Structure 1
Amino acid sequence: MRASARIFWILAIFFLIVGIAYGLLTGLYEPLGIETVGFPAILALAGLAAMIALYLSLNNRKFGTRPEDQLDAEVEDEAGVQGSFAPYSWWPLWASLGAALVFLGVAAGWWIAAFGVIIACYGVIGWVMEFSTGQYEH
């Protein structure tokens, strides 16, 4: 995780520098100052890379050196349970369908995005609460 965290920290710094440079350069040519789409999008990209880097850094601190960080590690060093996943879950389908409708709504019409938000919330809440109700309750 250490190598992945470093890659994402480098990406976050790179996108921050590029975003600021882009904002300054486009601000010279825009009549209102800063360009309204690209500048915030590149800064958001830097923020997203920083969030992933922070998550990986905290996990690296919590779990220590992982087999993927060692040059002499074997494949079987990472064997074992990788997580807890519900078998035959339909909730990811509803969450992804809602996300697709949100993105379609941004391009085609905001009323579609409203339906997408409702379906996505339904899917995500069902997915999160899946182990609290029903057959797999614990």
Structure 2
Amino acid sequence: MRTVSRLMWLLGASFVTVDGVYLFRSLRAQNFELIGLLTIGLSGVLCLLLAFYFGQVVKSAGVNVWAEDREDAEIDDGDPEVGFFSPWSWWPVLLGAASSLVIVGLAISAWIVLIAVPLLVICIIGWVYEYYRGNFAR
């Protein structure tokens, strides 16, 4: 993880440097563009924040934080349990479709959003409460 921190510091510094060059070149050409400046600059800020975070994690937890950093690690150590997912559930598919419909409605017209938001709420409720009814009720 220390290597990741160092790489993020390097990448963040390069983004900030490129952002300065971009600002200088765009002002010199009298073609100032705010979007490119902000995109490159905020990418640098993001990398610097990640570098700081990874550095603090290494400092507080020690050198061998990830299983990949340990010499005695097994393959299974790097594959943690990520949770329980219902193999028969259709709610995530419906939730994705309803979320897509909301985004399409925001892009196209407000009346689609008025139809999609109740569908989204129904899908969220159905997914959260799928184990509280039917054959799998607890």
- Once the two structures are TM-superposed, the CA of residue 71 in structure 1 deviates from its matched residue by 5.6
- Partner SS, residue 34 of structure 2: coil
Structure 2 residue 48 is the aligned partner of structure 1 residue 50: yes
Query: What is the distance in 2 between the residues matched to 1:19 and 1:80?
Result: 39
Give unmatched runs, 5+ long, in structure 2: 133-138
Structure 2 Cα separation of the partners of residues 69 and 58 of structure 1: 16
Deviations 1:11-62 (A, max 9, x none): 111101110111111111125xx42221111001112222333333343344
Structure 2 residue 96 is matched with structure 1 residue 93: yes
Secondary structure of residue in 2 paired with 1:37: helix
Which segment drifts farther, 70-79 or 7-16?
Answer: 70-79
| Rg larger in structure | 2
Identity of aligned residues (%): 23
Cα distance in 1 for partners of 2:109, 2:3 equals: 40
TM-score by length of 2: 0.57
Structure 1 gaps, min length 5 = 106-110
Q: Distance in 2 between matches of 1:71 and 1:42?
A: 37
CA distance in 1, matches of 2:101, 2:60: 34
What TM-score does the superposition give when structure 1 sets the normalisation length? 0.57
Aligned to 1:134: 129
How many Å apart are 1:134 and its aligned residue? 2.0
In 2 relative to 1, CA 85–47 (structure 1 residues): closer, same or farther, beyond 3 Å?
Answer: farther
- Residue 136 of structure 2 corresponds to none
